[in-house]
Amino acid sequence: MFELTRKQVVGGFVALLLVVGIASIGKFIEWVDTDKTVVCQHLSGKLSYWTEPGPKYQGWGDVIAYDKTSQLWFSDSEGEGGEKDYDLGIPIIFNDAGNGKINGSLRVVLPIGDDKLYKIRTSFPSMKSLMYDLVRPAVVKVVYASGTLMSSFESYAEKKTDLIFYINDQLENGVYKTKIIEVVTQDELDPTKTKTVRVASLIENPNAPGGYERQEKSPLTEYGITADNLSISSITYEEKILNQIADQQKARMNLLTAQAQAAEAKQQAIKAEEQGKANAMTAKWEQEKLKAVEVTRAQQEFEVAQFEAKKAKEVAEKIIQEGRAEAEANRAKVSAGLTPQEKAEWEFKTKVGVAQAISEIKLPSIIMGGGQGQSGNQALDIMSLKFATDLVDKLSSEKK
């Protein structure tokens, strides 16, 4: 019968210890990476939380490693996300009953305090469980609550950034408490018309987190988890919503085109009006220029006429003065008496003048007489001369 020696027993025991030691060396020391937070449950049941990198004494306890930061992906597109069973796009329903899915990502940051890590460890036995049993459902809930605050077209256009704000705010402070109100808004298919719709509205409260009433706290904050850097790469709309959005875009483009054309027409009218004013002003100044020329010419003519009148007046005054002087001289001569020579000259001029005047008098061309026509004319001449001589003598005697 085979019997073990003492040496063999000791050797076998040592070998067993070596095998057990080698097999359990991984339960003895735990290496903590820089991007991990490790929770160790020792054989005694006590939990240790390791956030600093390096070797840690495990003591054959069970360890669970959590990522200090992790990325939650949600997308139906290839090339994004990780495990497709969990990372599909998040559904959203808008206040016009339009459906879609949000594609993007969200960064998740774990706490470092022991009390928060204890809650995480006792609730979620793995990082995957934490992400898809806590974080993703919280995101789905706030996305659903955010969709009621806008229409499909608003999420596509002017309220796209508001959607990001609503999701981030609710992840941090809790889901909104809303009220239903009636608002008058533009008709999406005919922007020139309005319609009354019932929509969800936020309830403002300066004492509430973020300034709005909340219907519940954020589950992430209860675990000390921070969700930030939300990125929405796209929103996948169902086919009928895409058609509605296309129609709404077309209607808005038509309205913008009409408004642009109206604005252009208005500018053209203003331009034409201003051009008309400019032309009228130009014509007015042309008339003013002609008027100035005519006024200047008339002024010049008036001044010339004044000068000529003054000149004529001066000439007339001169003539009057000369006439007066001559009259005075004649009166002086008459008073003093004419010289025989002046008297003879005066009588001569008088007779010549009277004769000239008489010659212009029309007397009968036929005088009845006894002789021939020749002697009749001679008799007429003699009578005329006699008449003139007597008249001169008479005038002379009256002057004396």
For 284-309, the pLDDT digits (tens) are 888 888 888 888 888 888 888 888 77
Give the pairing type, strands 194-202 and 178-186: antiparallel
pLDDT (0 to 100) of residue 15: 62
What distance in Å separates the CA atoms of residue 275 and residue 270, rounded to the nearest whole number? 8
Provide the mean pLDDT of the chain.
78
Stretch 230-245: mean pLDDT: 82
* 3-state class (DSSP) for residue 189: coil
* Model pLDDT for residues 91-129, shown as the tens digit of each residue: 999 988 888 899 999 999 999 888 999 999 999 999 999
Contacts of 46 (CB under 8 A, 6+ apart): none
With bands split at pLDDT 50, 70 and 90, how would you rate the model's confidence at 162? Answer: very high
What distance in Å separates the CA atoms of residue 328 and residue 334, rounded to the nearest whole number? 10
With bands split at pLDDT 50, 70 and 90, how would you rate the model's confidence at 366? Answer: very low
Q: Which residue would you say has higher pLDDT here, 257 or 161? A: 161
Using the predicted structure, report yes or no on whether residue 38 has a pLDDT greater than 60.
yes
What distance in Å separates the CA atoms of residue 30 and residue 63, rounded to the nearest whole number? 8
pLDDT (0 to 100) of residue 173: 95
Percent of all residues in the chain with a pLDDT value above 70, rounded to a whole number: 68
Instruction: Flag the least confident range among 37-41, 202-206, 359-363.
Output: 359-363
Using the predicted structure, report yes or no on whether residue 32 has a pLDDT greater than 70.
yes
Q: Which residue would you say has higher pLDDT here, 351 or 66? A: 66
Q: Which residue would you say has higher pLDDT here, 327 or 153? A: 153
pLDDT (0 to 100) of residue 220: 95
Using the predicted structure, report yes or no on whether residue 81 has a pLDDT greater than 80.
no
Give the domain ranges of the chain: 22-65, 69-237, 338-399
What distance in Å separates the CA atoms of residue 383 and residue 375, rounded to the nearest whole number? 12
What are the beta bridge partners of residue 109? 69, 226
Place of tokens 């004492």: 207
pLDDT (0 to 100) of residue 368: 47
Helix (H) or strand (E) holding 306: helix 239-336
Stretch 229-248: mean pLDDT: 81
Stretch 129-140: mean pLDDT: 94
With bands split at pLDDT 50, 70 and 90, how would you rate the model's confidence at 189? Answer: low
The tokens of 102 are what? 């949000």
Using the predicted structure, report yes or no on whether residue 249 has a pLDDT greater than 80.
no
What distance in Å separates the CA atoms of residue 389 and residue 385, rounded to the nearest whole number? 6
pLDDT (0 to 100) of residue 65: 93
pLDDT (0 to 100) of residue 271: 79
Using the predicted structure, report yes or no on whether residue 57 has a pLDDT greater than 90.
no
Using the predicted structure, report yes or no on whether residue 174 has a pLDDT greater than 70.
yes
